Each structure stands twice: as structure tokens, then as C-alpha cells.
Amino acid sequence: MTTVMTTADPEQLKTEALAAIDAADTLDALEAVRVETLGKSGSISAVMKTLGKMDPDERKVMGPKLNALKTEITEAITQKKTALEDAALEAELAAKALDLSLPGPDVRTGTVHPTSQVFAELTEIFANMGFAVAEGPDIEDDFHNFTALNFPPDHPARDHHDTFFFSADDQGERKLLRTHTSPVQIRTMLSEKPPLRIIAPGRTYRCDSDQTHTPMFHQLEGLVIDKGVHMGHLKGCLMDFVKAFFEVDDVEVRFRPHHFPFTEPSAEMDIGYSRDGQVLKIGTGDSWLEILGCGMVHPNVLKACNLDPNDWQGFAFGLGVDRLAMLKYGIPDLRAFFDNDQRWLKHYGFSPLHQPSTATGLS
């Protein structure tokens, strides 16, 4: 309860106000005291208003006194307010026991996408074989994507790739979304001196969509240029890769003749596998699974990059990264890779804490 203040004497007002503040034992009661003293029609505000009617001599004496009183009461209220709030918190903490054995709140962690996981695995494997990582743009031109890779003009392969073309620019040139990572071969040979040993991981694009094709997908290109390179090197390198990637010591492989404009001879590499119910067993078996395209770099490609085929030879390979992820981790539908469904990512994703150690790109 608060005391009603009736006097206009500052000392008396002060005593009464301080007594009322002291007596206020709740925040509500304290607020009532504040309104009754400092509020618009409070006792202190009322005497402040009388200042105007005082004669100058009296005002000189009363003015500072009343101001000091106002400050003192304001401070007293603030202090009491803090004390009451602290006491309320203490009481609340004392009433609620803290159970330190309760489990903490669930922390949601993300997962590493299977494609990113496989990129990391591939980079590590090839870095250990001395390959460096090279990059090129997603928006390419006809020269790097086709011409320098020995695709003849009007060759049907240009259509087979279901290319996404941009509209022609001012010079009549039509840029395109690269249909494979092979143009990075050209860019690297034009910008760096051999010997070369690079992999080029990246996004590629073709106008295609079904269970095993998406308009955007991922490839990894490999290129080795050196003196005296032959198909034995190609085979040895890719055998080592397959063993490391599928984590099997014994893998049957077969190099099936194929055609790519930029390699001669060209091959597709198949690995043996068998199926046990739903599970694919990679390594041996009576079935073959195609996993990549490869071959010896065509002399015309070397020439387009100002390299003399009599001095330099090389081999190249290209593989579908998403497809390898599907195979290694038993993921049935490629389209789900790009749906951004959190449940899918939680199921097929990898722990960020168990990544291959980051490859350093030795060269």
C-alpha cells in the first residue's frame, strides 16, 4: 500500500516518498508510488507546477530543492525496481530445480551430397597418382566444346549431345552450355606446357531427362600428356583407379572398342559385376558394366593445341560422376540427386566428419 502525500514541504515530501518506496514490496506497488509522486498528477509534479507562481526569490530557493528531490526519488525508485526484479529472479530459480541430466536440444546437422562425396573421393584418388585439378567455364564456345576436339563441322555427334545453345551474339557466335568436361583438355593444353597430368571435375549439360539422365549432370575428365605415353599407361592408371574407387583388390575389366572424335583408338571401359538379389557385387561376375570412355588423344586434338604429335602423346578419359555415385552407393534414380529433398539427403548423404582427407593436387 502507498501513503497519500499531502504536504508541499520538500523535506516532508521526500520522507513520505522514500517511506512509500521502501514499503513497496511488489513491482506493481512500486509503479503506483512512481505514479503518485513523479506521474503527471503526482505530488512532486504538483509542487513543481507551483514554481511558476512563486515570487523570484522564493523560486531561487525552491527550484534547486525540488529538482534535487525529483532526482533523488527517481533514483530511489530505480534502485528498488532492480532489487525487486533480482529478488523475483532468485525466487524463480529457487523454485525451479535445474536438471543437468536432461539431454540437450537436438542439433540438426547437414549431410554431404553423394555427388560431392564422390567428387572428393575421385579427387583424392587421382591426386595420389599425381594429377592436378583443372577447371573451365560452364558456358563454352563451339571451338573448345567441339571443333578443337576434332568434331567435324555438321558431324551428327554435335546433335547427339543434345546441346543447349544460347542465341547468337552480335558477331553471330552461338555460345553453349558445355556438353562434357572435355573442353577443359583443350583449355589446359593451350594454356600450360606439357607434360600434363590433370583431372577436370565439373558440371555438364544436355537436353535430356529420364531415370538415368538429367539436363545438368557431373563429369570428371582426365588428361595425361607426356612423351612416349601409350595404352598400357591408360590401362594401368584406370585399373588402379577402379580398384581404389570400388575398394576391391581384384577387378575384371574390359576395354571395348568405341568411337570418340577426340581419341584414337577409343574405348569404353567395362567392369565385371554380379548381382545378388538387389545388391551389385563389383569386381567379378558374368556381367559387364560400362563405367567410362577413354582413349589415346587424337593427333588432330594435339595439333589444335599447337602440340606436335611426333613429340607428345597422351591419353584421356571421361566419367559420369553421378552415375558412379549411383553404382557405388546403390542409388536408383538420378533425378532425385537434384530434387533437394531433405529426407533423401539424410538417407543417402554422408557425414561431413568422415570425408576423404582433402586432396592437395600434386603435380
Q: Does 317 bind ligand DAH (CB under 6 A)?
A: yes
Q: What is the largest CA-CA distance in the chain?
A: 116
Measured from the CB atom, is 31 or 192 closer to ligand DAH?
192
The contacts found for 40-49 with CB under 8 angstroms, 24 or more apart, are 43/5, 43/6, 43/13, 43/16, 43/17, 44/13, 44/17, 44/69, 44/70, 44/73, 46/8, 47/8, 47/10, 47/13
Integer Cα distance of 209 and 220 in angstroms = 20
Integer Cα distance of 171 and 184 in angstroms = 24
Measured from the CB atom, is 43 or 263 closer to ligand DAH?
263
From the CB of 292, what's the least distance to ligand DAH, in Å?
7
Integer Cα distance of 247 and 239 in angstroms = 12
> Residues 113, 180, 187, 218: which binds ligand DAH (CB under 6 A)?
180
Residue 75's nearest CA partner among 34, 25, 36, 35 is: 34
Q: Does 200 bind ligand DAH (CB under 6 A)?
A: no
> Residues 114, 261, 283, 293: which binds ligand DAH (CB under 6 A)?
293
- Nearest position to ligand DAH, beta carbon: 318
Q: Does 294 bind ligand DAH (CB under 6 A)?
A: yes
**Number of other residues whose CB lies within 10 A of the CB of residue 155:** 12
Measured from the CB atom, is 144 or 180 closer to ligand DAH?
180
Q: Which stretch binds ligand DAH (CB under 6 A): 23-31, 62-70, 302-310, 311-319?
A: 311-319
308: Cβ contacts below 8 Å, ≥ 6 apart: 302
> Residues 123, 150, 182, 313: which binds ligand DAH (CB under 6 A)?
182
Rule CB under 6 A: which of 249-278 touch ligand DAH?
A: 260, 263
- Residue 292 backbone dihedrals phi, psi, to 5 degrees: -165, 165
> Residues 186, 295, 327, 359: which binds ligand DAH (CB under 6 A)?
295
Q: Does 313 bind ligand DAH (CB under 6 A)?
A: no
Rule CB under 6 A: which of 211-230 touch ligand DAH?
A: 221
Are residues 227 and 313 in contact, defined by beta-carbon separation less than 8 angstroms? yes
Measured from the CB atom, is 317 or 350 closer to ligand DAH?
317
Measured from the CB atom, is 62 or 186 closer to ligand DAH?
186
Query: Residue 100 is placed in which grid cell?
Result: 543437468
Asked if omega into 195 is within 30° of 0 (cis), the reply is yes
Are residues 245 and 226 in contact, defined by beta-carbon separation less than 8 angstroms? no
From the CB of 169, what's the least distance to ligand DAH, in Å?
25
Measured from the CB atom, is 80 or 180 closer to ligand DAH?
180
Q: Which stretch binds ligand DAH (CB under 6 A): 88-96, 100-108, 287-295, 350-358?
A: 287-295
Q: Does 324 bind ligand DAH (CB under 6 A)?
A: no
Q: State the residues that interact with ligand DAH by CB under 6 A.
A: 180, 182, 221, 260, 263, 293-295, 316-318
